[in-house]
Amino acid sequence: MHENTPRLHGVLVWMDLEMTGLDPEIDVIVEIATLITDDDLNVVAEGPDLVIHQSDEVLAAMSKVVLDMHTKSGLLEAIKTSTTTLETAGLATLEFIRQHIPEARTIPLCGNSIGTDRRFLAKYLPEIENYLHYRSVDVSTIKELSRRWY
């Protein structure tokens, strides 16, 4: 590895966002959960799992599929009763990440279909998106390749 290349091993940041839909131009984040593992996927630290309050107007704009999913999981009720703002959730999440990764842009973001989450982070929480390395570890790639090859 070139000596100026950032170290990309040691820990991994896993993140899962729930949204009101898949389009960051019209949909919003309603939950953000973060986990830190080591390279062998042992949990190093469990971050905050934060449900973000949204107005009835925002929730009414969700598609039936998303509304049903969030209702069945209990997330819809949690969104309505939450007092956490997106700003508060973003600050708490970034602080958690910084506690375990003191140097910006050295650790990739990991998760399932993480490209969608990254688009929402870029739109609504760019300070988190900018803190993480541009590389991603997307486990949906492994699922897709396994389904095709095995």
Q: Give the side-chain half-sphere CA count within 13 A for 150.
A: 6
Which of 124, 131, 134, 150 is the catalytic position?
A: 134
| Nearest CA among 17, 15, 8 for reference residue 39 | 8
Residue 8: how many other CB atoms lie within 10 Å: 14
Answer whether 11's CB lies under 8 Å from 113's CB. no
Clarify whether 124 is annotated catalytic. no
Q: What share of the chain is helix, strand, coil (3-state, %, to 5)?
A: 45, 25, 35
Answer whether 30's CB lies under 8 Å from 16's CB. no
**Edge-to-edge strand order for the sheet containing 29-38?**
43-51, 29-38, 11-19, 109-111, 136-138
- Residues serving a catalytic function are 134
